[in-house]
Amino acid sequence: MLRIDMSRAYLADAIPAATATLREMSATPSLSIKSFALGDFVTNAYVVFDPSDNAKSCWIIDCPYEPSAMIEAILRAGLKPELCILTHCHCDHIAGLAEMRLKLGPVPILCHVLEKDFNADPNLNLSAFIPPGLSAPEPEGYLAHGQVILLPGLGEYAFQVVHAPGHSPGMICLWCAQAELAFVGDTLFEDSIGRTDFPTSDPQAMDRSLRLLLTLPDATKIYPGHGSATTIGRERRSNPFLRALT
């Protein structure tokens, strides 16, 4: 049974080894999150960075259709993406990867291993149902439940990977205990949850994933794949799709 490890700061298998480092936590630095609602599906992409970082490193979380506004903001700020992390590999979260690579360089792409074939396969990434189908750049590395990513440039913030299948088999969330926030992809929304009627969806797995997210503290702010940010506590109290789970 999966669980969120709240007792340890980080795990030994942090990846990618070439760029991620594990180190002793000290004073909490500043963390900035810029959100961009992009494309016809109004899919959220996020740019995460530490304004005090002289190297101007950042992460990109998801890269939807029509990513120009996000890319231009990164260029204007002089930020340097270290990683693009995909919460999952449906077309509305990966369609901008080629343009991102063209304009920002060979940014490494990571996703859960269960979706390693989705980017290249229009049937798996669902773009076959929204012609024309698309194939996006494939990931260079894979994430698994419990891994912790700590990149130079994001100060002392450690993000734990939470495997949350249901909407898709390789859905991941990224939870940061120090900052009391989580990026949750298309698992949990304000007053709603992700769809489970796609070919690779699993409603029973979604229930388990939602119960897993509900073990996070109520103060945890969640950044979803669509719609507004909210908190675990608010959704626990008012989300109608969670009532049967609590």
Q: Classify domain 32-245 at the CATH class level.
A: alpha beta
pTM assigned to the model: 0.88
Positive or negative CA dihedral for 180, 231, 152, 22?
positive
- In order of 12, 15, 158, 169, the CA distances from 8 in angstroms are 11, 17, 11, 26
Of the candidates 149, 161, 206, the one whose C-alpha atom is nearest the C-alpha of residue 5 is: 161
Q: Of 190 and 8, which is predicted with more confidence?
A: 190
Q: Which amino acid is located at 198 in the chain?
A: F
pLDDT above 70: percentage of residues in the chain:
86
Please report the beta strands in the chain, taking only residues with DSSP state E, as ranges in sequence order: 32-38, 43-49, 57-61, 80-85, 109-112, 141-143, 148-149, 159-163, 172-176, 181-185, 188-189, 192-193, 221-224, 230-231
Q: How far apart are CA 125 and CA 99, in angstroms?
A: 17
Q: What mean pLDDT do residues 17-28 have?
A: 30
- In order of 5, 161, 172, 200, the CA distances from 31 in angstroms are 22, 18, 21, 34
Query: Half-sphere exposure of residue 238, counting CA atoms within 13 Å on the CB side?
Result: 7
Give ∠ CA 101-143-224 in degrees, rounded to 5. 75
Question: What are the φ and ψ backbone dihedral angles of 130, each rounded to 5 degrees?
Answer: -135, 70
Q: Which of 6-10, 18-22, 48-52, 112-116 has the least mean pLDDT? A: 18-22
pLDDT at site 11? 31
pLDDT at site 157? 84
pLDDT classification of 12: cutoffs 50, 70, 90: very low
β-pair type (181-185, 221-224): parallel
- Give strand pairing partners of 185: 224
pLDDT above 90: percentage of residues in the chain:
78
pLDDT at site 129? 94
Q: How far apart are CA 177 and CA 2, in angstroms?
A: 18
Residue-wise pLDDT tens digits, 96-145: 999 999 999 999 999 999 999 999 999 999 999 998 899 999 999 999 99
Angle at which helices 68-77 and 97-104 cross, to 10° = 30
Please report the beta strands in 21-147, taking only residues with DSSP state E, as ranges in sequence order: 32-38, 43-49, 57-61, 80-85, 109-112, 141-143
β-pair type (141-143, 109-112): parallel
Q: Is the model's pLDDT at 233 over the cut of 90? A: yes
Q: Which amino acid is located at 77 in the chain?
A: A
pLDDT at site 46? 98
